[in-house]
Amino acid sequence: MIETLKNKQDFNNVYKNGKMFGNRDFTLRYIKNEKSTNRLGVVVSKKVSKKAVKRNKLRRQIKEYLSTINVKLAQGYDYLITVKPNSLGQSYQDLVKSLDHLFKKKGLFIN
RNA sequence: UAAGUAAACCAUAUGAUCGCGAAUUAUUUAAUUUGAGGAAAGUCCGAGCACUAUAGAGCAGGAUGCCGGAUAACAUCCGGUGAAGGUGACUUCAAGGAAAGUGCAACAGAAAAUAAACCGCCAUAUUUAAUAUGGUAAGGCUGAAACGGUGCGGUAAGAGCGCACCAGCAUUUAGGUAACUAAAUGGCUUUGUAAACCCCAUCCAGUGCAAGACCAAAUACAAUAGUAAAAGACAGUUGCUCGCUGUUAUUGGUGGUAGGUCGCUUGAAUUUAUUGGUGACAAUAAAUCUAGACAGAUGAUCAUUUAAACAGAACUCGGCUUACAGGUUUACUUCUUGA
RNA sequence: GGAGACGUACUCAAGAGGUCAUAAGAGGUCGCACUCGAAAUGCGAUAGGUCCGUCAGGAUACGAGAGUUCGAAUCUCUCCGUCUCCG
């Protein structure tokens, strides 16, 4: 069960004050919150694709990934993942690799 | 067999493991059930539903447009009529009015809508190859379009001037609910454009669930009642005019933003059968409940020979339009090709 | 989800049925002057998309495709794209 970002204020908070890091496929923003658990958000803009089906599929795949990985992540953060057009048409395995790369690079996994 | 025409339908399957939305049950994390489309899309029409003082008067404005029917309604559908296309099955059509009026018709051409007369043709006169006057519109280039067409008669030359056939117009009769069709008679002929203004007939208040209703702390805000001030400027109300309403200060109580609940899915519903109708569709009976989120649920992995098109609900229906891999069924046509 | 607006040279744009848009105009581009050099400024000039070509010209082009009309950038319809507003 993932807790998601709900309000416009939460999103704006991450956008303005959060740390930002990206690769070719995604941009990751994150910031500490006052809670013990993580909150997650996914943004897929219309610039990625005009088709709602394709955007929905990307969002679902990322959510699937996050729900499996959430246990290993450092707790007490708001995460926001923005999708870039490059990630369109890639397989699920490629997306997983790319996302793993992001989180590893910033040392957000608990060892 | 081949080529084609029309109509209807299916269209990300099945199983296993993990995960998500909703409902129900037990009860606080378990079980069971259920969970995107034919276009959910575009938002192009028509409605339901909700709110707004749709008060009212006038002028604008918009939509539809052969006829009859269906429907809650429609720019939709069905059956006819007419025109165009195709050998044919069949397909396509914003298809009222141009003798109510106005506008426009570039260039070319003698002339572009009141008809007119450049080159011609003919007659007469003067005088020797031209001019003047009159008649005429058969022939001529142009153009998208030239004031009926073809033939014969006729004539100085010609002309619906006369006749025959054809086209168009009007009237009458017959058939049809009607659009219209057929026949007869008549005078002798009226260009095109209304997806130009317009005329005629019928219809139309606006805003869209981010509508709106209820609960409700603080601050902001709104509007209401009383009191005081102000009297012609501003704002609102339907695009405009008239008309109508409000404005500033202070006091009282009220509403109300963030948030929550509802609106939200039982409906012009779906399926089956019967009856009526050429048909769209209607009536009757029985059975069924079939997504309801709010940063917004359908995904991942493996197997099945391969898993693939266009594409994802957000108040709900009826249509239209556009996108679409592959496949199934039914009815029908044939100039031509082969058997 | 709902409501609108706009698509014309490289850019911003006029044109709103009629002699191919000589594609009006402006920016831009090029040259000269000024300057140590540049910018700004002043003066002057060119070409205007794509394809074919016998180098005379022809065809096609106003987001795309149909229709009305003798004739559409302009009128009508259907798509495509871009932008704005509504909590």
Q: Using one digit for the tens of pLDDT, what is the confidence trace for A22-77?
A: 888 888 888 877 677 777 888 887 777 778 888 888 888 888 888 878 777 777 78
Distances (CA, A) of A71 to A44, A45, A95, A99: 24, 27, 19, 15
Instruction: Give the CATH architecture of domain A8-105.
Output: 2-Layer Sandwich (3.30)
Where do the domains of chain A lie?
A: 8-105
pLDDT tens for A4-27 read: 776 666 777 777 777 888 888 888
- Please state the rounded mean pLDDT for residues A101-110: 78
Three-state SS for A18-30 is CEEEECCCEEEEE
A20 touches strand B (CB under 7 A): no
Q: What ipTM does this complex have?
A: 0.78
Shortest CA to C1' contact from A43: nucleotide = B295
- Identify the pLDDT of residue A111: 54
Q: Specify the residue for token string 């658990």.
A: A37
Contact A41, A80 (CB under 8 A): yes
Which of A's residues 45-104 have CB atoms within 7 A of nucleic strand B? 51-53, 56-57, 59-61, 63-64, 67, 91-93
Q: Specify the residue for token string 């890091």.
A: A21
Q: Say if residue A105's pLDDT is above 70.
A: yes
This model's pTM is above 0.90: no
Å from A20 (CA) to B274 (C1')? 71
